[in-house]
Amino acid sequence: MKTQDITQAITEGKTSIGIELGSTRIKAVLIGEDRLPAASGAYEWENRLEDGVWTYHLEDVWTGIRESFAALAEDVRKRYGVTLTAAGALGISAMMHGYLAFDKDGGLLAPFRTWRNTMTEQAAAELSELFRFNIPQRWSIAHLYQAILNREDHVKDIAFLTTLAGYVHWKLSGKQVLGVGDASGMFPVDSKTNGYHGRMLRQFNERIAGPGFSWKTVEAILPKPLPAGEEAGVLSETGAKLLDPSGCFRAGIPLCPPEGDAGTGMVATNSVTERTGNISAGTSVFAMIVLERELSAMYPEIDLVATPAGKPAAMVHCNSCTSDLDAWVRLFGELTALAGIKTGKAEFYDALYGKALEGEADGGGLLSYNYYSGEPVTGLEQGRPLFVRTPGARFTLANFMRTLLYSTMGTLKLGMDILTGKEQVGIDRLLGHGGLFKTKGVGQRLMAAALEVPVAVMESAGEGGAWGIALLASYLGQKETGETLEAYLEQKVFAGNAGSRIDPDPQDAAGFKTFMERYVRGLAVERAAAEHV
């Protein structure tokens, strides 16, 4: 769109806005009638480890939302010379799973427990056996049941249990709802009804039956699941002030169902139809594959969730991805600063990532684990970032960087082998997004080799989940009668754009296999580090 057309769309409120609360950044994106990003704003934040719990304070949530929205409004003013006062639709997305429990007065009953926590092993195991369905530790129902098993006093007073996206949406609109994709990470959903799974609801309610709770059934405290395209309320006067304390932004704007970062990643990469998939690689890494059929067995390494439209999808989720890699890059940055060398952050990352391609295909015998927290896929309750080498290993910068990049993919590879190997799940296209893919061609090439599947990256996917939730907001406001999300994305947003594709390099693939043999053997070392350090 031309600048004058975007300006007119902003003035007339014909844009859509998406806000996503990621692990390290809160981002707001505005898109025009062409559905491309026209302006954005961001705010950096970090989780906290307090009393053994990974958490964010709710006041930090609202500080970050206000700051990112203010940065978006300022970007609009600078680019187009107008004040942002309205939009055609608005959407909220955030990290999936976790535990946010509130009483009848809206008070928070326990510190926010994020997806990163691995404190629910007993609950997850018991529920998986009860349901005959894999319940990962980070799912909301696992947190709730663990709190029940622990006899935590606050459980009896729960009136509403939700995710971070559901919480923000509730405060903006007053509606206790959730997109079906995000809801599928709270409690299993039925793809035929887009509601919570009836048999499993009954089984859970029977398991916890008895006196002591103000709530009698779990569905009474869960948000209502909504598929993409359904209106999920409007921005209230209070909500508008939470977004924009200056009062410029108006209430009454329709909101789409709030979604999780897995769902918005699928949307931002046009990976919502069967045999398509995407990889989101940032603080955590997960791969989502939309399924043609049910899996033949239950696997603790595989989550079964849903697309924003309710189609079944398999997720391989790993808690750690780039945090350890980023820590090493910061250390090297301190070294270059000490030497008086000034380099921009992006250029520095590009140089170090590029160096990895000069390394030996197997990393030269080096070994790294990026575990900042526990990893259910490999059965570790706690993590310790770890680098190991033998005296005879080739310890060069190129091998070191390749090994760090390989370590971001190792745990994901173990889970994906179940889907592509044991279950023979077909994948026509796999698209990458997130920080690991920002340096052109490096993370993409190595990921293709690791998974032995072609990996594509789209330029537009650089805006990530914030763009994805903005697209879901635009689908709410601009879809035609009966138009599916799949058709809307394929025909009106991406129009055949499949991104730049890299096929697996045979030498890289063989080298990664050698690295993975070393990686699997060395898990005993990582386990010992977690126990003794």
Whether 437 maps to a domain, the answer reads yes
Question: In 132-183, which residue ranges form alpha helices assigned H by DSSP?
Answer: 140-149, 164-173, 180-183
- Rounded distance between C-alpha atoms, residue 124 and residue 129, angstroms: 9
Split at pLDDT 50, 70, 90, the class of 464 is confident
Which residues constitute the domain of residue 299? 271-457+503-533
| Strands, E assignment, 4-150 | 16-21, 25-31, 37-44, 48-50, 53-55, 89-94, 100-102
Whether 508 maps to a domain, the answer reads yes
And the tokens for 323?
Answer: 């945090």
- Per-residue pLDDT, averaged over 127-148, amounts to 96
- Per-residue pLDDT, averaged over 209-236, amounts to 93
Could you tell me the CATH number of the domain that includes residue 522?
3.30.420.40
Whether 466 maps to a domain, the answer reads no
Quick one: pLDDT at residue 462?
54
Whether 395 maps to a domain, the answer reads yes
Q: Which of 185-199, 427-441, 451-465, 481-495 has the lowest mean pLDDT?
A: 451-465
Whether 303 maps to a domain, the answer reads yes
Instruction: Dump the DSSP string for 169-189.
Output: HHHHHS--EEEHHHHTTTS-E
Please list, in sequence order, all residues whose beta carbon lies within 8 angstroms of the beta carbon of residue 344, skipping any fewer than 6 positions away: none
The residue count for the chain: 533
Tell me the per-residue pLDDT of 60-107, one tens digit each, with 9 for 90 and over: 999 999 999 999 999 999 999 999 999 999 999 999 999 999 999 999
Quick one: pLDDT at residue 458?
82
Residue type, 253: I
Quick check: helix, strand or coil at residue 39?
Answer: strand
Quick check: helix, strand or coil at residue 254?
Answer: strand
Quick one: pLDDT at residue 21?
97
User: For the chain, how many structural domains are there in total?
Assistant: 1
Whether 333 maps to a domain, the answer reads yes
Task: Evaluate if residue 413 carries a pLDDT over 80.
Answer: yes
Sign of CA dihedral 236, 240, 243, 249: positive
Q: Report the mean per-residue pLDDT for the chain.
A: 94
Cβ atoms of 123 and 151 closer than 8 Å: no
Whether 326 maps to a domain, the answer reads yes
Quick one: pLDDT at residue 376?
82
H/E element, 131 = helix 121-131
Largest interatomic CA distance in the chain: 68
- Per-residue pLDDT, averaged over 138-143, amounts to 96
Task: Evaluate if residue 461 carries a pLDDT over 80.
Answer: no
Closest CA to 434 of 332, 321, 353, 356: 321
| Strands, E assignment, 301-454 | 303-306, 312-318, 367-369, 386-388, 429-433
Whether 357 maps to a domain, the answer reads yes
Cβ atoms of 7 and 83 closer than 8 Å: no
